[in-house]
Amino acid sequence: MQIDKKEAYTILTPTEKSTGNFYDSLSKEIAKLKNEHVLINFSENFNINASEILLFLDIATEKRENGTSFVLIISGIEIDDVPDEISVVPTMVEALDTLEMDAIERDLMGF
């Protein structure tokens, strides 16, 4: 897994060959990113399907409870096949927009 820390968020890019292997690697690292907004950029070369996205549901829930964002960047996924608890967008621009919207929502809710 490649980790790229930015000022306001961290981008993770899988280098593993499977979603399961990436999830295992992420599970070991996610505690270090507890207070950071996390974007996971699945490249077009990484094959992930809607059912595999469910692996990340527990992490997405935990990040939301901690007041941080968790966004998966995946092109070619039907958004209706993904639970509302997981933010999935097709591009980096939309991921950054999601971070902004999440921040506004947290401000409005008093987090």
Q: Model pTM?
A: 0.89
Query: What phi, psi does 73 have (nearest 5°)?
Result: -105, 105
Could you read off the pLDDT of 26-69 as tens digits, one per residue? 999 898 998 999 999 987 777 888 888 999 999 999 998 888 99
Counting runs of H as helices and runs of E as strands, what totals does the chain give? 4, 5
The pLDDT value given to residue 111: 53
- All domains of the chain in start order, with CATH: 2-109 (3.30.750.24)
